[in-house]
Structure 1
């Protein structure tokens, strides 16, 4: 988060953003009720439970509301 950002949607915002930190929670849910049956800790996932591999941060433009991966905002911030 040390690179300049620019919104790829509204193309004018370069200064107002919301940084969204993603904290995944690995759970097993009951398919009928939706209640959490089991909660997994990092490194203790069941063999059929794939760990989260998405971005650590997402960014929201505070002018137009677009939410994207941080790299998208950084790429547009590099352009003049």
Structure 2
């Protein structure tokens, strides 16, 4: 883990919430929104697999919720 700095409040370097993103591939009913099918791995050619980050970070001071890269880059730019 690298040092983090909140890009919004620009003061928090220590208190963060790490949010693990767990992907569940599903097919929904278009009328009701209920889950019709869950896919274990390959959901087929018309279902793109998740490409996003494994974690997001939330600043525990101001509440900003962003990709971890934003917090890491801010810390690198404003090294103490």
1:1-80 mapped onto 2 (5 Å cutoff): 2-42=1-41, 44-78=42-76, 79-80=78-79
In structure 2, distance between residues paired with 1:46 and 1:30:
17
Deviations 1:27-54 (A, max 9, x none): 0000001110000012x21210000000
For the residue of structure 2 that corresponds to 1:73, the secondary structure is: helix
**TM-score (structure 1 length as normaliser):** 0.94
**TM-score (structure 2 length as normaliser):** 0.94
Could you say what the CA RMSD is over the residues aligned between the two structures, in angstroms? 0.7
In structure 2, distance between residues paired with 1:66 and 1:19:
12
Q: Structure 1 unaligned segments of length 5 or more: list them.
A: none
Q: How many residues align?
A: 78
Give, in angstroms, the shift of residue 65 of structure 1.
Answer: 0.2
